[in-house]
């Protein structure tokens, strides 16, 4: 806690560095919620999602719902509360899960928190699939406002934009990211400028900021208002990004960016859209683009497309980060991770995830073909994530901050009830597209639970095969095993068991190198471990046996680079006063064979074996030199 407040104090709001961070946050953190005006009120005013007629009183009620949903969920929940629950400066549902695993006591409590985190991460993947599709399509749909004859271009142009977006992912976003902030600052300025003239022409729309209009609409048309909530939630899509991307810019930059730029711009453009619909009911077809004069509508379409690309980039990068965190927490199998920046550890690219997202997003665009149709699928992913993050946050606030009963009740009354209503309203669209994020979440939960359970069973069986390390090293004394000059490095997950590759060297080849280093990588529940704290060294058996055990602790945002981390250990003990340039790395590879009697159900066992078989090559994951890496295999009947 003290460390966090010190970090915030150094990042004072008056410093130029703070405002540079705010500018960066505008480009990454607020891209998704900043493009929601493209489709939120468009969906709310459409008859497919709303049975409320477009009258002055009803528009005031809708604007009031929007304003107070943004205020309570984004400002109240995320900006004022959740962003303070950081894991060493990092945010996101899995970062919070990792933090809670250090504080929650008891297997049952830990299991509940883990399941909630897995559900939240699963829904995030559904969000990551839908966001690029609905954002890009809603922007390109502005072509219809420019000229109705251009409607047939919406799907092909959207598909072309998405192809380019996913094609550039392997190159990283470092250079492009520098331009994101100014572009999005201009976008928010554009939103405000579009809204102000309509507010000036119809200043009565400001009455919509009063909560009584929302209450009056609910009382007058309760069923219609309930259905309307399914569209209102679209105004807070991307709110979770304020927390998920916390580590990139810091909590203060996120708060400043929201309170000084983003929230005012969003309120102005929503008020402007409401005023426009009152004066020109025909503008409900696409109120944002109708705010612009005809001569500026095509440039606005182009600018909106650029803004949605930035918003999509943010959620794609988030999917890479969430997948990487899930892998480190043991929830997903090992995938290939490529670093796209030498300076920023968090900038990573996962080819498998990129391909899955690309195929899924492109399929959505071709199948649904309009933002109105995609909106039906969007709400459940957003509201489900909101509720799950609230549940985990309340566990955190109780376990770490010591929140009492009345604090919890106040949170639920002010925020939780609203989120539950938003979720309930979106369940009405389950068969109109809402099934999609549910299906994605179900598949991801199936994969994570299958992997977690199967990996535990394999780990237990593997430890039995490996046997204890100390007696094995003791057996080397006087055994006649030939000691070759040089250094052998055995990456091995266990602290007290023997690497299978090391056992094979002794039993099959009757030799062992003069210097043996057993390296254990420990994934800590924090984003980063300082270099000075990463390494611990001890003799694995006797001081004269030439065998040393090195433990490397890495955070979930640190590289699992064994040679680079071993360099930190050189010279710490007499046994490690060696040169690693010629070291040979021995990997133990365990081939799994299904037995006749299955411990898992047949189909789940096949799924686990498929996941295990397609894991990334550990030579690449651990950054081992291919010409000096030897793989020795064993078999295990699971």
Which of 452, 485, 512 terminates a domain? The answer is 452
What is the phi/psi pair of residue 569, to 5°?
-90, -20
Measured between alpha carbons, how far is residue 621 from residues 78, 535, 558, 560, 624 in Å? Answer: 35, 19, 12, 7, 8
Q: Is residue 43 part of a domain?
A: yes
Judgement on whether residues 477 and 617 belong to the same structural domain of the protein: yes
One domain for residues 54 and 126:
yes
Q: What is the DSSP letter of 380?
A: H
- Sequence-distant (6+) residues with CB within 8 A of 518 are 469, 490, 492, 499, 502, 540, 547, 548, 549, 550
Q: Specify if 20 maps to a domain.
A: no
Residue 18 falls inside a structural domain: no
- Could you tell me the two tokens for 144? 């219809």
Q: In terms of domains, do 216 and 260 share one?
A: yes
Give the model's pLDDT for residue 48. Answer: 56
**Per-residue pLDDT at 63:** 94
- How many whole angstroms separate alpha carbon 193 and alpha carbon 190? 5
Give the max Cα distance, the chain. Answer: 95
Which CATH number is 247's domain given?
A: 1.20.1740.10
Are 77 and 181 in a shared domain? yes
Q: What is the pLDDT of residue 460?
A: 85
In this prediction, residue 6 carries a pLDDT of 34
Say if 459 falls within a structural domain. no
633 and 490 in a single domain? The answer is yes
pLDDT at position 3, please? 40
Nearest to 361, CA basis, from 243, 303, 440: 440
Last residue of a domain, one of 420, 452, 484: 452
**Same domain for 144 and 36:** yes
- Determine, yes or no, domain membership for 14: no
Q: Looking at residue 248, what is its pLDDT?
A: 66
Q: Classify 482 as helix, strand or coil.
A: strand
12 in any annotated domain: no
- Answer for the pair 520, 565: CB distance below 8 angstroms, yes or no: no
287 in Cβ contact with 277 (< 8 Å): yes
**Do residues 390 and 298 both lie within one domain?**
yes
Joined tokens for residue 407: 């604090």
Distance from first CA to last CA of the chain, Å, rounded? 45
360-399 pLDDT per residue, tens: 999 999 988 888 778 777 778 888 888 988 988 898 898 8
pLDDT below 70 — which residues of the chain? 1-18, 47-52, 172-179, 247-248, 339-347, 478-479, 540-544, 573-575, 593-601, 635-638
Position 261 scores a pLDDT of 94
The pLDDT, as a whole number, for residue 358 is: 93
Question: Residue 377's CB: how many other CB atoms inside 10 A?
Answer: 28
Number of C-alpha atoms within 13 angstroms, CB side, residue 227?
A: 15
Report whether 214 contacts 61 (CB < 8 A).
yes
Same domain, 387 and 534: no
Burial 432-459 (b: 16+ CB within 10 A, else e): ebbebbbebbeebbebbebbbebbeebe
Strand partners, 516: 488, 547
Based on the fold, state whether residues 195 and 326 are members of the same structural domain: yes
Structural domains of the chain, count: 2
> Given this model, what pLDDT does residue 180 score?
80
d(CA 127, CA 130) in angstroms, rounded, equals 5
Asked if residue 501 and residue 430 are part of one domain, the reply reads no
Looking at the fold, whether 479 and 359 belong to one and the same domain comes out as: no
Please give the residue range of the domain that contains residue 590: 467-637
User: What pLDDT score does 8 carry?
Assistant: 42
580 with 566: CB under 8 angstroms? yes
The domain boundary, picked from 452, 478, 496, lies at: 452
What's the pTM value of the predicted model, to 2 decimals?
0.79
Q: Quick one: 615 and 485 in the same domain? A: yes
């Amino acid at each position: 806690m003290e460390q966090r407040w010190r970090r915030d104090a150094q990042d004072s709001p008056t410093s130029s560095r703070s405002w540079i961070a705010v500018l960066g946050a505008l480009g990454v953190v607020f891209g998704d919620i900043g493009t929601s005006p493209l489709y939120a009120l468009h969906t709310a005013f459409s008859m497919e999602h709303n049975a409320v007629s477009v009258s002055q009183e009803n528009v005031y009620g809708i604007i009031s719902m929007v304003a107070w949903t943004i205020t309570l969920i984004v400002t109240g929940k995320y900006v004022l509360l959740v962003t303070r629950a950081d894991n060493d400066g990092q945010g996101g549902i899995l970062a919070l899960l990792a933090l809670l695993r250090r504080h929650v006591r008891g297997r049952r409590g830990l299991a509940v928190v883990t399941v909630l985190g897995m559900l939240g991460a699963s829904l995030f993947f559904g969000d990551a699939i839908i966001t690029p599709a609905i954002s890009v399509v809603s922007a390109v749909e502005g072509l219809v406002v420019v000229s109705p004859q251009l409607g047939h271009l919406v799907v092909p142009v959207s598909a072309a934009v998405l192809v380019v977006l996913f094609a550039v992912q392997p190159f990283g976003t470092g250079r492009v990211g520098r331009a994101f902030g100014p572009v999005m600052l201009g976008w928010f300025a554009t939103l405000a400028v579009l809204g102000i003239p309509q507010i000036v022409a119809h200043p009565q729309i400001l009455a919509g900021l009063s909560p009584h209009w929302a209450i009056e609409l609910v009382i007058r048309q309760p069923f219609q208002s309930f259905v309307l909530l399914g569209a209102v939630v679209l105004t807070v899509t991307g709110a979770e990004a304020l927390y998920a991307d916390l580590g990139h810019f810091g909590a203060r930059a996120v708060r400043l960016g929201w309170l000084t730029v983003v929230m005012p711009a969003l309120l102005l453009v929503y008020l402007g859209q409401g005023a426009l619909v009152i004066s020109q009911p025909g503008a409900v077809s696409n109120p944002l683009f109708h705010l612009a004069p005809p001569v500026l509508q095509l440039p606005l379409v182009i600018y909106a497309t650029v803004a949605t690309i930035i918003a999509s980039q943010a959620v794609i990068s988030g999917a890479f980060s969430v997948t990487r965190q899930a892998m480190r927490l043991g929830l997903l199998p090992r995938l290939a991770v490529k670093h796209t920046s030498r300076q920023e550890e968090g900038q990573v690219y996962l080819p498998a995830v990129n391909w899955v997202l690309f195929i899924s997003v492109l399929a959505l665009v071709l199948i649904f073909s309009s933002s109105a149709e995609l909106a039906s699928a969007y709400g459940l992913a957003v509201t489900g994530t909101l509720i799950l993050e609230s549940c985990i946050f309340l566990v955190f606030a109780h376990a770490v901050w010591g929140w009492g009963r009345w604090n919890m009740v106040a949170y639920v009354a002010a925020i939780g009830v609203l989120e539950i209503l938003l979720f309930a309203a979106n369940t009405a669209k389950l068969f109109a597209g809402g099934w999609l994020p549910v299906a994605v979440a179900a598949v991801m939960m199936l994969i994570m639970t299958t992997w977690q359970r199967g990996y535990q069973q394999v780990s237990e069986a593997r430890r039995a095969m490996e046997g204890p390390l100390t007696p094995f090293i003791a057996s080397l004394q006087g055994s006649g095993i030939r000691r070759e000059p040089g250094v052998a490095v055995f990456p091995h997950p266990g602290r007290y068991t023997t690497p299978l590759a090391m056992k094979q060297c002794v039993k099959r080849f009757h030799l062992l190198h003069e210097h043996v280093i057993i390296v254990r990588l420990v994934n800590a529940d924090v984003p980063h471990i300082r270099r000075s704290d990463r390494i611990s060294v001890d003799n694995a058996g006797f001081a004269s046996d030439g065998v040393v055990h090195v433990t490397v602790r890495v955070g979930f945002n640190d590289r699992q680079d064994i040679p680079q981390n071993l360099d930190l250990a050189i010279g710490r003990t007499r046994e490690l006063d060696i040169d690693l340039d010629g070291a040979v790395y021995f990997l133990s590879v365990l081939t799994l064979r299904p037995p006749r009697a299955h411990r898992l159900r047949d189909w789940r066992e096949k799924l686990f074996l498929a996941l295990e078989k397609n894991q990334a090559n550990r030579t690449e994951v651990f950054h081992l030199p291919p010409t000096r890496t030897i793989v020795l295999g064993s078999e295990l009947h699971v």
